[in-house]
């Protein structure tokens, strides 16, 4: 299996999607500082959400403005991704009128995100998760239609959905006027690294973003076979997982708050894993 160039993005509908995305969840008042640090260390894609309960989207916007001023880079040099979150996933700090109809809530949340991030378009906009654990509701399709309208207007380049199961994604892909282009899921080794969703994504030309690749799979680091790969390659545990994930075709979300780990993550391919090593990792806890 050929080594993936670290800096080569994927291309989807003429949009360049970096292979590494910096995740900004759960960083509160440190959001601006850590996002700026990630950008300065080489990340060119940022993930956030208009969900004050777990994200501070305005802090991301502050970091972006500081980065533009200091680096000389512009908005078009970065990939920005955020999400619409249902009221059930919010706290009292809502980005929309709770009494408004759902399409209006999407519009209000979207325009608020543009204001927070100080941009007039988004590279990707995701539904943070369906409204129910199984199946899709009429409300989900109303939200998706509102997102499609922003896509058609040119304010969104890519549409996606997060925290979705196989049947939901299959149904949305067959029934939406504009099918999802991105999926963002928590990725567990015990499910073959979300193997059934990734296979579905491949069939429908959807790009898969994996998050919690480390925190959801801490037991992996204790496996003798995994430790042997670390010893043979000289890579850290996270570097092994991230490189394997890249070679499985994933886009990686990482939200590390450690500057050294930011550098290590982006250089996870300094020693190439063999095909057999990647296969072993993919099957180790399946």
- Please check whether residue 10 is in contact with residue 19, taking contact to mean a CB–CB distance below 8 angstroms: yes
Alpha-carbon radius of gyration of the chain: 19
pLDDT of amino acid 4:
40
Q: Angle at the Cα of 201 (from 221 to 280), degrees rounded to 5?
A: 30
- Please check whether residue 86 is in contact with residue 146, taking contact to mean a CB–CB distance below 8 angstroms: no
Query: Residue for token digits 């550098």?
Result: 263
pLDDT of amino acid 283:
92
Q: What is the pLDDT of residues 34-45, one digit of tens each?
A: 999 999 999 999
Beta-carbon contacts of 199 under 8 Å, excluding residues fewer than 6 positions away, are: none
Q: What is the pLDDT of residues 60-85, one digit of tens each?
A: 999 999 999 999 999 999 999 999 99
pLDDT of amino acid 7:
53
State both tokens at 256. Answer: 């590390």
pLDDT of amino acid 8:
82
**10-283 — its CATH code?**
3.20.20.100
Report the chain's mean pLDDT, rounded to a whole number.
Answer: 96
Polymer length of the chain: 286
pLDDT of amino acid 285:
72
Task: Specify burial of residue 185 (Cβ count, 10 A radius: 0-12, 13-18, 19+).
Answer: buried
Residues of the chain with pLDDT > 90: what percent?
94
**Phi–psi pair at 86, nearest 5 degrees:** -60, 160
Torsion of CA 262, 32, 58, 128, to 10 degrees: 20
DSSP-derived 3-state class of residue 124:
strand
User: Pick from 67, 77, 68, 78: which is nearest to 32 by CA?
Assistant: 67
* Residue segments in the chain with a per-residue pLDDT below the cut of 50: 1-6
Residues 174 and 141: their CA atoms lie apart, in Å, by: 12
């Amino acid at each position: 299996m050929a080594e993936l160039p670290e800096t080569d993005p994927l291309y989807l509908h003429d949009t360049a999607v970096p292979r590494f995305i910096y995740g900004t969840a759960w960083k509160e008042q440190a959001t601006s500082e850590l996002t700026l640090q990630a950008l300065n260390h080489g990340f060119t894609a940022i993930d956030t959400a208009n969900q004050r309960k777990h994200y501070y989207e305005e802090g991301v916007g502050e970091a972006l403005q500081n980065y533009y001023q200091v680096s000389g880079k512009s908005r078009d040099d970065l990939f920005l991704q955020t999400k619409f979150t249902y009221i059930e996933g919010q706290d009292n700090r809502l980005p929309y009128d709770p009494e408004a109809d759902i399409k209006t809530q999407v519009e209000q949340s979207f325009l608020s995100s543009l204001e927070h991030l100080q941009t007039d378009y988004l590279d990707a906009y995701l539904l943070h998760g369906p409204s129910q654990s199984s199946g899709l509701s009429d409300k989900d399709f109303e939200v998706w239609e509102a997102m499609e309208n922003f896509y058609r207007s040119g304010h969104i380049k890519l549409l996606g959905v997060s925290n979705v199961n196989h049947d939901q994604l299959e149904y949305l892909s067959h029934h939406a006027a504009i099918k999802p282009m991105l999926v963002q899921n928590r990725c567990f080794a015990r499910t073959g690294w979300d193997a059934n969703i990734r296979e579905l994504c491949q069939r429908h030309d959807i790009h898969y973003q994996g998050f919690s690749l480390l925190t959801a799979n801490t037991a992996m680091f204790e496996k003798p076979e995994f430790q042997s790969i670390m010893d043979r390659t000289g890579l850290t545990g996270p570097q092994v997982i991230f490189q394997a994930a890249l070679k499985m075709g994933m886009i990686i979300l990482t939200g590390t708050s450690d500057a050294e780990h930011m550098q290590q993550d982006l250089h996870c391919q300094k020693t190439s894993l063999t095909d057999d090593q990647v296969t072993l990792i993919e099957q180790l806890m399946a």
